[in-house]
Amino acid sequence: MPLITLNNLSLSFSEKPILNKVNATILKGDKIALIGRNGEGKSTFMRVLAGLIEADDGKLKVKNGIKISYLEQTPPEDSDKKLFDIVAEGLGDIGLMLTQYQHLIEEGKLDEVAKLQEKIEQLDAWQYLHKIQTILQRFNLDYKAILSTLSVGWRRRVMLARALIKNPNVLLLDEPTNHMDISAILDLEKMLKDFHGTLVLISHDRSFIASIVNKIFDLERAHLTVFECGYTDYIKRKENLLNSQSLARQRFDKKLAQEEAWIRQGIKARRTRNEGRVRALEAMRKDFINRQQRQGKVKIHSAIQDEKRASKLVFEVKKITYQINDLELIKDFSMLVLKGDKIGIIGGNGTGKSTLIKLLIDELKPNSGNIRRSKTIKLAYFDQMRKNLNLNMQAMDFVSGGREHIDIAGKSRHIIGYLRQFLFTSKQAMSPIRMFSGGEKNRLMLAKILSQPANLLVLDEPTNDLDTETLELLEEMLLDYTGTLILISHDRTFLNNVASSTLVMDGSGIIKQYAGGYDDYLLQKQDNLNQKAKTKVKKTKKIRHITKKKLNYKQQQELDKLPEKIEKTEMKISKIQLKISNPDFFRQEKSQDVLVQLAHLEADLKCYYKRWSELE
């Protein structure tokens, strides 16, 4: 059943075509990934689907009664509203009424509460109050928290909850995984798989897209191509299509060259019987002029190069501990980082990933322990670029520091030529940065950092907003890079393709290192769990065997139940420790109650182990 139909839709901004006579149908149950290079107009296309922008020409038909929810790429920053109020807004008038009811209760205005209760009952709106509370719990959101106090990742969760609350028929998501940790991405992935409505999403996360979508909208040079398949098959079909187009253009160019040679032969070409051939040549010339060539591929060349004099030992970390007030982010951690290592760092938001990097590069000092650093380190740090991004500066001046030429791997390059490798035209190179899309800004920051000579490259979430092609070429460059790489990323595919080892931070202060990328970490973690489970079973069987003759029936029953009690208590403790690792935890009113609960659980666990020892 068609929900949204696009008929010859066209849209241009400042003479740049975004959509050119686009035709497509979005059906009930479709789960679509909108894919295209940075700056192609994907977010603009989403806003057209959401009804926020009207096309210049053509028709957008939306089936009557269809509810559309839209999650924008950039969440709001300055809202002082409570999370309950923001999520309730997704329900329209009923949500506003429930927000008013919530405020009246908090203010103790019981007479007004009673009047509003009657109205809520008449509209049968209590179900929606429960719905708001349920979705807030599902996203681990405190309804009293203020939006402006949250990190970007948590704000995205709030806005996603708001988009889902009205149970839309069509859900539009623009980069929903940006700034989310892997755990949150996996939760969202499961939620969208279970979502029964129609989904259109923009995302750079290839693992995320591959697990969800069943159709691809490919936006390139204002033209939309529809692929009726999942992401993996799309990659193969797209490659075949590009090869076919390349061959067709080669044949066209060869034919054109032959006709141009023929027309230059002179009078013979102007005979009456050849007038048709002349007209055909003129048409071919026109097609050649109007033909929109696919932009060249990104060619990432960096100034970052290995130095023979660079020390083999980059960092020697010895039993460092770092805490903020009572929150212990890093506990008794040791590690060797050698020249050429490519280390990925993963963990939830607030677990201390950026803190670890700042400790390594001497921006922070550990509370205990020490870090020995190579004296030959030349650092290039991606996160610093974001802080120094002046939106009014010209792109070329940002990268070159105002110079016309920069030195790349010992060779002088003109700045515009260098930026052309990153798909920036001469006009874009001279444009202010504020004119760029989010992905183009990230690509510009990569151009800046890769122009700096360095033997230690630190990338803090470099993949946000980058298109797939740039990501793949960045991966190739990092694989060829002979220096040392430290990388924070929530992109599982990127980690799998680049990292030689992975540090996992779980929020308890303990950091574990695994060989390989994200999938390798999962396999090793599962192997460890299986081994522990086998050991536990053997130990339990051994205890049962030894104690069978010594224990009475009641004691044996108690012993049999202890392993399950211990396991459940440990799981509860782990969940609470995960909550505590959230940087916003101590702002919550119930934080002390949770800490008391944790203390009781830890005491119970101690008693269980003691009793197990006694029965043993």
pLDDT tens figures, 15-68? 788 999 999 999 999 999 999 988 888 999 999 999 999 999 999 999 999 999
Residue 87: both structure tokens together: 């999520």
- Per-residue pLDDT, averaged over 396-406, amounts to 90
CA angle 385, 386, 392 (to 5 degrees): 95
Contact 498, 344 (CB under 8 A): yes
| pLDDT of the residue at 528 | 75
Residue 464 banded pLDDT, cuts 50, 70, 90: confident
pLDDT of residue 395: 92
Task: Say if residues 321 and 328 touch (Cβ distance below 8 Å).
Answer: yes
pLDDT, tens digit (0-9, with 9 covering 90-100), for 354-363: 899 999 999 9
Pick the closest to residue 97 from 57, 124, 62 (CA basis). 124
pLDDT at 303: 56
Between 490 and 575, name the one with better pLDDT. Answer: 490
Residue 123 in this model has a pLDDT that exceeds 80: yes
**Percent of the chain surpassing pLDDT 90:** 31
Higher pLDDT, 265 or 161: 161
Q: What is the pLDDT of residue 415?
A: 92
CA dist 114 and 121 (Å) reads 11
Of 581, 583, 566, 605, the residue nearest 511 (C-alpha) = 581
Confidence of residue 571 (pLDDT cuts 50, 70, 90): confident
Question: Which of 276-290, 317-331, 394-408, 409-423 bottoms out in mean pLDDT, i.e. has the lowest?
Answer: 276-290
Enter the tokens of residue 547. 């104690």
| pLDDT reading at 338 higher than 70 | yes
Token pair in block for residue 554 = 């009641």
**545 pLDDT more than 60:** no
φ and ψ at 331, to 5 degrees?
-130, 115
Question: In the predicted model, what is the mean pLDDT of residues 572-586?
Answer: 70
- Give yes or no for residue 532 having a pLDDT over 80: no
Which of 29-43, 299-313, 492-506 has the lowest average pLDDT?
299-313
| Rg (alpha carbons) of the chain, rounded to whole number | 30
Q: Higher-confidence residue: 99 or 301?
A: 99
| pLDDT (0 to 100) of residue 4 | 95
Which position has the higher pLDDT, 294 or 526? Answer: 526
Q: Which of 12-21, 425-434, 488-497, 503-512 has the lowest mean pLDDT?
A: 12-21
Q: Report yes or no: 465 and 204 within 8 Å, Cβ to Cβ.
A: yes
Cα separation of 451 and 408, whole Å? 6
Coil, helix or strand at residue 300? coil
Neighbours of 236 (CB within 10 A): 10
For residue 170, pLDDT over 90 is answered with yes
Query: What does the pLDDT read at residue 582?
Result: 65
Q: Picking from 18-22, 42-46, 262-266, 543-547, which range would have the lowest pLDDT averaged per residue?
A: 543-547
Structure confidence at residue 584 (pLDDT):
63
Q: What is the pTM of this model?
A: 0.70
Decide if pLDDT at 211 tops 90.
yes
Kindly report the length of the chain: 616
Please name the helix (run of DSSP H) or strand (run of DSSP E) that holds residue 58, with its range, or none: strand 57-62
Instruction: Round the average pLDDT of the chain to a whole number and report it.
Output: 83
CA distance 569 to 584: 24
Percent of the chain exceeding pLDDT 70 equals: 86
Choose between 591 and 452: higher pLDDT. Answer: 452
Q: What is the pLDDT of residues 195-204, one digit of tens each?
A: 999 999 999 8
